[in-house]
Amino acid sequence: MDGTRGRVDEAVVRQAIHWLVRLRSQPADDRLQRACAAWRAEHGEHERAWQQVSALNEELHGRFKALPGGVAYGTLDSSAQRLQRRQALKLLSLLVAGGAVAWVGRDSLPWQRLSADYSTATGERRSIELVDGTRLQLNTDSAVDVRYDAGQRLILLARGEIFLASGADTQSPTHRPLRVRTAQGLFEALGTRFNVRLQDAATCLSVSEGSVRIDAFGARPLQAPVAEAGQSYRIAADGVRRLERPQMDAVAWADGLIVTRDMRLADFLAEVARYRNGYLGCAAEVADLRLSGVYRLDDTDKLLQVLARTLPVRLQRHTRWWVRVVAA
């Protein structure tokens, strides 16, 4: 197989899409060209993502005579400019039918947001009250489908992260279990408030109140398959693991916060990057700096400025879309 076509992390593909659309909209901007070149050179995965997205653009150019930059970005990442749902689905069906994106991988681009019942763009958070009284909160870049019937209340998490406060379901004559389904398992609420996040081919579950029954697909079952309040678990193909000392409050995002406890700077920036478009990373010499604190998510630029004042680091910016944290 061509080495440029290996699987690339979804977040890196989104960054490559961002760079491509920016360059197409401002082809004469030398500073932007240099910033993109620096991003591509920083890591081999960046270059692979660039090659994949560039090849996709060439394919689209041939098939559709080059979509305008804003529409292309709206199709590939609705955080920049959203298409109406029907238009987006029609265009995506053409792309899939033509095979233009098959090798990039269905999960490598944000298709789910375009067809989901509820979704959020990058940096957006959303709260919804469902018909049974359940409060559903979506974190950044998330997508869910809601499937309620006479037998159960099922929420399908296709992308991202959600926080649920289960409702009483008083409209139903019988008690219907409330469940969340991911690729890794089925999670049944037992009168509870809990968080479910998709991360690195795994599902992370954190329970705030009550308890949650875990049914892990294809993994060795827990001795006691019920997660209690205050507990967190990681569910993946290699098994179910209790997370004893999480370095981040799993549900603080629902209040617009990141709360850390002795967290590596590199890991912290990876979390902040979920709420921003473009590239955010750090140099190797500062990656292992530790930080603890409470940080607001509403303005990530201000958050980074606070970081630069409290740690021995500075912000290296090429554009507002490319930020690297380096030693001061």
Percentage with pLDDT > 90 across the chain: 52
CA 206 – CA 251 distance, rounded (Å): 8
Confidence band, pLDDT 50/70/90 cuts, at residue 17:
confident
Q: How far apart are CA 143 and CA 157, in angstroms?
A: 6
Query: What average pLDDT score do residues 129-143 get?
Result: 95
Structure tokens at 258: 């990141």
Residues 225-260: tens digit of each pLDDT: 899 999 999 999 888 999 988 899 999 999 999 999
Is the pTM higher than 0.85? The answer reads no
pLDDT digits (tens, 9 = 90+) for 302-321: 999 999 999 999 999 988 88
**Mean pLDDT confidence for 21-35:** 79
Confidence class for position 221, pLDDT limits 50, 70, 90: low
Q: Looking at this protein, which amino acid is placed at residue 147?
A: R
pLDDT above 90: residue 75: no
Best CA proximity match to 103, nearest among 142, 49, 61, 143: 49
- pLDDT score at 89: 41
Three-class SS state of 301: helix
* Fold assignment, 118-242: Jelly Rolls (2.60.120)
Handedness of CA 218, 224, 228, 232 (dihedral sign): negative
pLDDT mean across residues, the chain = 81
Coarse DSSP helix, strand, coil percentages of the chain, rounded to the nearest 5 percent:
35, 30, 35
| Amino acid at position 27, single letter | P
Residue 163 clears pLDDT 70, i.e. is over it: yes
Chain-centroid distance of CA 82 in Å reads 17
The more confident residue out of 134 and 72 is: 134
SS3 (DSSP) at 157: strand
If pLDDT is split at 50, 70 and 90, which confidence band does 223 have?
A: low
256-327 matches 118-242 in CATH topology: no
Q: What pLDDT does 222 receive? A: 61
Q: Is the pLDDT of residue 177 over 80?
A: yes
Do 133 and 170 meet the contact criterion of CB atoms below 8 Å apart? Answer: yes
d(CA 85, CA 114): 6
Specify the pLDDT at position 92: 39
Residue 70 scores a pLDDT above 70: no
- Domain coordinates in residue numbering, the chain: 3-115, 118-242, 256-327
Which residue's structure tokens are 């559903």?
136
Q: Domain 256-327 belongs to what topology?
A: Phage tail protein beta-alpha-beta fold (3.55.50)
Q: Transcribe 237-293 into DSSP letters.
A: TTEEEE-SS-SB-TTGGGGTEEEEEEEEHHHHHHHHHTTSSSEEEE-GGGTT-EEEE
For residue 8, the model assigns a pLDDT of 66
pLDDT exceeds 70 at position 193: yes
Residue 100 pLDDT grade (very low, low, confident, very high; cuts 50, 70, 90)? very low
- φ and ψ at residue 33, rounded to 5 degrees: -60, -45
Is residue 190 within 8 Å of 226, Cβ to Cβ? yes
Task: Identify the pLDDT of residue 42.
Answer: 86
Distances (CA, A) of 104 to 6, 50, 57, 141, 153: 9, 11, 12, 19, 33
Tokens at 96, concatenated: 């899939």
**Residues 6 or more apart whose Cβ sits within 8 Å of residue 190:** 210, 211, 212, 213, 226
- CA–CA distance, 20 with 295 (Å, rounded to integer): 31
Q: Quick one: pLDDT band at residue 145, thresholds 50, 70, 90?
A: very high
